[in-house]
């Protein structure tokens, strides 16, 4: 029996790209498992982060996602023993650092390297962050990334790393086919944080007709007060709507009814909002310089992240030049990003790594897994 183990203690119930990727990927992996394969997900004792097929086994671990330094210590103290106890053949991890001397091959997913690329989140000195990244990729048997952009950043900061690109997916069929709302609104979905570059979007909207609103859906990660001040200075405060988090069905409806999906981020390792906008058939305008243009291809428009007049013109053009053929083309492009394909690539990766593990056919030393 080949035993795949996935670490999910890093994600919780709050919306995030990492949580969406892990949940949808595992849901697509389960139907593709062969009879001699089993999957265990490690989670915190606070509860499971999402629901999965009953064939998935769950195992609680004494590791909490935050603060990062406490998580890293807990992983170092407990993960090695846990993996031995449950007889893991490979382990999939989704966050740095990778603990040393784990008893099976590690498949490490790196969503982005923003801390090394000028979009710092942590207070650690840059040399310390660089050392953590390089040590972690050395300890991993293989690194998985969601885009060629992120692959290029890993190669730059950790040359020689073995990398597999596994793009994220989207369920095109879940998005309703509505006509855009009147009066029109521009939609941004994502946390409110500096790298999202939402100030340029507010300034761009100030150059559009006063009937056009801007709807910002996402948790405040430190940028909301500044955005409110900027909207007031641009005299569009009454046209900018902060929606925090909305239920899934309501969010899909917002995507479908938006005039444009705008993603002006300075840095994205993938860009779920851009892909979901295309899945809803809506015009999508994205910022240059990261993975966003890779995701949208020729089916979205890319604008320099600092070009306010360029953003105003692109948004105006998108609202005035939409047609059914373009809607169909966007949806067709989004369908090329399939969770089933991502799961197939992921399983191929795990199987290769398990085959490299000389103990991969062993029976579990102790099976304390609870369903």
Residues 19 and 57 in one domain: yes
Report the pLDDT value the prediction gives residue 369, as an integer from 0 to 100: 38
Q: Is residue 362 part of a domain?
A: no
pLDDT digits (tens, 9 = 90+) for 257-308: 999 999 999 999 999 999 999 999 999 999 999 999 999 999 999 999 999 9
Residues 181 and 152 in one domain: no
Residues 147 and 203 in one domain: no
Residues 164 and 240 in one domain: no
Residues 327 and 343 in one domain: no
pLDDT digits (tens, 9 = 90+) for 43-74: 998 889 899 999 999 999 999 888 888 999 99
Query: Helix (H, G, I), strand (E, B), or coil: what is residue 56?
Result: coil
Average the pLDDT over 132-160 and give the result.
96
Beta partners for residue 242, in sequence order: 216
User: H-type helices in 108-247, by residue range?
Assistant: 126-139, 148-157, 198-205, 224-233
- Taking all residues of the chain, what is their mean pLDDT, rounded to a whole number? 93
- The rounded distance, in Å, linking the Cα atoms of 4 and 242 is 41
pLDDT of residue 371 exceeding 60, the answer is no
Q: How confident is the model at residue 21 (pLDDT cuts 50, 70, 90)?
A: very high
Domain ranges, residue 223? 172-335
What percent of the chain shows pLDDT beyond 70? 96
Average the pLDDT over 236-263 and give the result.
95
Q: Is residue 368 part of a domain?
A: no
Report the pLDDT value the prediction gives residue 259, as an integer from 0 to 100: 97
Report the pLDDT value the prediction gives residue 107, as an integer from 0 to 100: 97
Q: How confident is the model at residue 360 (pLDDT cuts 50, 70, 90)?
A: low
Q: Is residue 139 part of a domain?
A: yes
Residues 197 and 279 in one domain: yes
Q: What is the tally of structural domains in the chain?
A: 2
Average the pLDDT over 9-13 and give the result.
84
Residues 131 and 197 in one domain: no
Report the pLDDT value the prediction gives residue 366, as an integer from 0 to 100: 39
Average the pLDDT over 132-136 and give the result.
95
pLDDT of residue 255 exceeding 70, the answer is yes
Q: Is residue 367 part of a domain?
A: no
Number of H helices and number of E strands within the chain? 12, 13
Q: Is 165 exposed, middle or buried (0-12, 13-18, 19+ CB in 10 A)?
A: middle
Residues 214 and 105 in one domain: no
CATH at 77: 3.40.50.2000
pLDDT digits (tens, 9 = 90+) for 76-113: 999 999 999 999 999 999 999 999 999 999 999 999 99
pLDDT of residue 221 exceeding 70, the answer is yes
Q: Is residue 344 part of a domain?
A: yes
Average the pLDDT over 297-324 and give the result.
95
- Choose among 327, 189, 183: nearest CA to 248: 189
Q: Is residue 110 part of a domain?
A: yes
Residues 116 and 153 in one domain: yes
Residues 41 and 106 in one domain: yes
Q: Is residue 370 part of a domain?
A: no
Residues 33 and 93 in one domain: yes
Residues 215 and 95 in one domain: no
CA 300, 187, 306, 288 torsion: positive or negative? negative
Q: Is residue 361 part of a domain?
A: no
């Amino acid at each position: 029996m080949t035993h795949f183990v996935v670490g999910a203690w890093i994600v919780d119930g709050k919306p995030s790209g990492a949580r969406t990727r892990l949940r949808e990927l595992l849901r697509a992996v389960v139907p593709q498992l062969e009879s001699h394969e089993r999957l265990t997900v490690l989670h915190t004792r606070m509860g499971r982060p999402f629901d999965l097929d009953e064939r998935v086994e769950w195992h609680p671990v004494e590791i909490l996602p935050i603060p990062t330094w406490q998580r890293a210590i807990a992983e170092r103290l407990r993960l090695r023993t846990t993996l031995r106890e449950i007889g893991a053949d490979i382990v999939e991890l989704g966050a740095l650092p990778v603990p040393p001397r784990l008893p099976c091959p590690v498949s490490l997913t790196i969503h982005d390297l923003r801390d090394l690329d000028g979009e710092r989140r942590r207070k650690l000195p840059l040399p310390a962050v660089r050392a953590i990244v390089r040590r972690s990729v050395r300890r991993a048997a293989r690194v998985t990334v969601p885009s060629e952009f992120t692959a290029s950043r890993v190669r730059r900061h950790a040359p020689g790393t073995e990398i597999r690109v596994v793009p994220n997916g989207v369920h095109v069929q879940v998005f309703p086919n509505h006509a855009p709302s009147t009066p029109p609104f521009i939609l941004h979905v994502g946390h409110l944080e500096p790298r999202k570059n939402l100030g340029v979007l507010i300034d761009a909207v100030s150059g559009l007709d006063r009937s056009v609103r801007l709807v910002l859906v996402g948790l405040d990660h430190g940028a909301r007060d500044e955005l409110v001040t900027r909207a007031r200075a641009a005299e569009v405060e009454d046209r900018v709507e902060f929606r925090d988090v909305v239920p899934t069905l309501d969010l899909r409806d917002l995507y479908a009814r938006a005039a444009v999906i705008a993603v002006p981020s300075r840095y994205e390792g993938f860009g779920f909002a851009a892909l979901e906008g295309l899945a809803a058939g809506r015009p999508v305008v994205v910022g240059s310089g990261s993975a966003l243009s890779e995701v949208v291809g020729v089916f979205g428009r890319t604008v320099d992240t600092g070009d306010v007049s360029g953003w105003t013109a692109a948004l105006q053009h998108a609202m005035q030049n939409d047609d059914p053929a373009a809607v169909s083309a966007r949806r067709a492009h989004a369908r090329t990003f399939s969770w089933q394909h991502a799961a197939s690539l992921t399983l191929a990766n795990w199987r290769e790594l398990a085959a490299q593990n000389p103990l991969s056919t062993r029976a579990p030393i102790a099976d304390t897994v609870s369903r």
